[in-house]
Structure 1
């Protein structure tokens, strides 16, 4: 399980500038603050009811200081730091959810497709009220992660309050190894390709382009429905290269920190491999961080019609600063801005065409889970189970596309729109 919508980088993106020497009053204020901290440290160490070391107290102080800044800054123990490095590789242990913290509660940003959490019915916007009977009120994000993680095959029980519910439910989930298939595809009609990107990982852009190339071997590509719904983000570099797949030139995103002189821009590269067919992109409240970078760039360049519901609004940059003892600090150092200068933070990306998802059967929990279900049998070139089918490969593929369109009104609308885009451009 990955925890956040973090953009991981091990290089500081901003140079440090030397501030002028503090005034005498400023130095005295610093001294008084440090003196007060030292006094409290000694008091707690000497009088707390249980034995506690000065190192533990200082570590907890650092942890509290960093985590009080915002929901995404954090102190990483050496163990946490190593796990974060593993997470970006695309395979890890856990239940498969992205979580954040909001008003002291642990919030599900997105369940990762085809994982235990996804199959258990967790949804974007759910609140995790308890973990194995322990309240999450006031629990830090990293503490929540440690309690949810565990050995493969063991069970963690979460008390979940679904977004549209007034009554929490207990959800037992068996932990597992989480291999992420970050790109899924399906032919909707001849020439119209559905691409779902579930995560921005090291292989995402390569896998995305390979799926397009494979499709073009047997079809004349006429349009793409690009699904970023419930994609919680990932690596900044992958967000840039995914957007670059569809954008000819210009700015894709820029980041701006406290020092205005240290703005950093990321640009599209001019190349002959750019995909130029009509494009409709789907987003929702589970589309966060890197997903919002891509959607914002496509929208500002008028490269894609953005359809669905407003995105999550996670537009801050976290820089990972390694420390000499193997620990690290994940510090918010900047904000993301779309090419036109819009900040993503707390506002997200508004779709050009707002189309709420409508479940096939609003009173049917199974219908609600069909919202983002792309099953194994739906995937192009999936492995058969060995039993013989009376339908040809072409007929079976058409049947899968028909089933997808029947249970997802947003995909249906996106297909009709992408087919209409060339005509709309001619009218304009």
Structure 2
């Protein structure tokens, strides 16, 4: 009886659609009306298949779960970023943008039908275990990930704090798979970390774009600039998988006086949007270098692309991931939701980010090192004038605004990170060039 009722209900909807379609046919092309009719005929086939399974499958099927599976398959067939979110998945997505979740701390996507790492989140179990962008996750707890889908994979990777998950990974250059046993933890998405890297130069890393990222960034800059003039900033967007569009726009707006930041194009008019910078006396005017790599995706590519097109920053590193599509979250009854790709992102100069990414102005591949800090000559006390007996004192003691922990952190980062060293050298060169220009203008 339930099968007959279901078929009758869908048939009723189909006939209703045909009736409505006939009244709208004068404003639609015959081809479009034909496509719609074929679509609803396929829905009738789906209802018949479901009815047959309900009555004849070897075991009684869970009808709601079967329908949910069909919806997931529908979204999976479109692109890697469109997905059906059940009530649990929809709730987790909302929690993630607000600040934390429990899992291993990794962003994944489907690339060539393979579950691929976009980037690990800094300081998380995945990052500490050594997972990297472009790693392929072959299995999760012994189950093959092929055709699993990104949403289902994320659901399996997440779990209660303290629980464990085993993943099998393959990386280009490896001769065999490797297994990682990871213990899940609370992933506090502290999206902004900043400190003084060198005199008058700030290093600021944005790990992802959350609802409070811009405010956290502004507070960090205000704190660090309270006692010293800031002449340059290194903005690190490496392994930043993206996040909220409005936060990417507002971060960019802090550095750009006017003009486009990003615009979108979709199939429908309401998906075509543009976001522009607003002039403000609080806009930052100091020199800017942005670090990117293959783990920089989506919102971080919007920031890098806009700053590059406006010639407001020098982009350093390697080509970004190339996720230039817009996902719209549509709530559904019962707490579920759809994440649907509805448009593409374009930089102010009209370049599509999708599948191409942002090419850096200065390409610097990352070269790993042994992580040991090499002491430079200037760090050896015997070469300091101040340590010589009866030295002539200076007229003013040098002021160092960095704490000892910040000094150690900066030294360690620079020793281990050749891309960061390149960015710092470029920024110092820019400041030196600016001083020369100012002197020329004065004379």
Q: TM-score normalised by the shorter chain: which range applies?
A: 0.7 to 0.9
Q: Secondary structure at the match of 2:197?
A: strand
User: Partners in 1 of 2:319 and 2:310 — Cα distance?
Assistant: 19
Is 2:196–2:402's contact at 8 Å kept on the other side of the alignment?
no
Larger mean CA deviation between 322-331 and 46-55 belongs to 46-55
Preserved contact between residue 271 and residue 343 of structure 2 (Cα < 8 Å)? no
Q: TM-score, normalised by structure 2?
A: 0.82
Q: 2:48 aligned with 1:39, yes or no?
A: yes
Checking the alignment, whether the CA contact within 8 Å between 1:315 and 1:345 is kept in structure 2 is: yes
Structure 1 Cα separation of the partners of residues 185 and 427 of structure 2: 38
RMSD (CA atoms) = 2.2
From 132, 142, 164, the counterpart of 1:133: 142
- Residue 212 of structure 1 corresponds to which residue in structure 2? 221
Which aligned pairs between 1:339-350 and structure 2 lie closer than 5 A? 339-350=348-359
Residues 244-323 of structure 1 aligned to structure 2 (within 5 Å): 244-259=253-268, 262-323=271-332
How many residues get paired? 383
The one of 83, 97, 109 equivalent to 2:118 is 109
Q: How far is the alpha carbon of 1:423 from its aligned partner? A: 4.8
1:161 deviates by: 1.2
| Alignment partner of 1:165 is 2:167 | no
1:31 Cα offset (Å): 4.5
Q: Is residue 102–residue 160 contact of structure 2 (8 Å, CA) maintained in 1? A: yes
**Structure 1 residue aligned with 2:246:** 237
1:358 offset after TM fit, Å? 0.9
The TM-score normalised by the length of structure 1 is: 0.84
| 2:44 paired with 1:29 | no
- The answer to whether the aligner puts 1:147 opposite 2:156 as a matched pair is yes
Shift of 1:395: 5.5
Partner residue in 1 for 2:210 = 201
Q: Distance in 2 between matches of 1:154 and 1:314?
A: 31
Q: Write the distance in 2 (CA, Å) between the matches of 1:102 and 1:226.
A: 28
CA contact (8 A) 1:94 1:177 kept: yes
**Aligned counterparts of 2:56 and 2:154: Cα–Cα separation in 1:** 31
1:90 aligns with 2:99: yes
Cα distance in 2 for partners of 1:393, 1:260 equals 51
Would you say 1:189 and 2:169 are equivalent positions? no
SS of 2:240's equivalent in the other structure is coil
Which has the larger helix fraction? 2
Distance 1:90 1:325 in 2: 24
Instruction: Determine the C-alpha separation between the residues in 2 that align with 1:247 and 1:173.
Output: 42
Bigger Cα displacement from structure 2, 134-143 vs 295-304: 134-143
- 1:54 CA drift (Å): 3.5
The gaps in structure 2 that reach 5 residues or longer are 1-23, 373-400
Higher RCO (Cα < 8 Å, 6 or more apart): 1
The structural deviation recorded for 1:26 is 4.4
Distance 2:326 2:247 in 1: 14
What is the correspondence of 1:340-419 to structure 2 with a 5 Å cutoff? 340-361=349-370, 394=403, 397-419=406-428
Larger radius of gyration: 2
Q: CA deviation at 1:105?
A: 1.8
Q: Displacement, 1:183?
A: 1.1
Aligned to 1:51: 60
Distance 1:335 1:422 in 2: 36
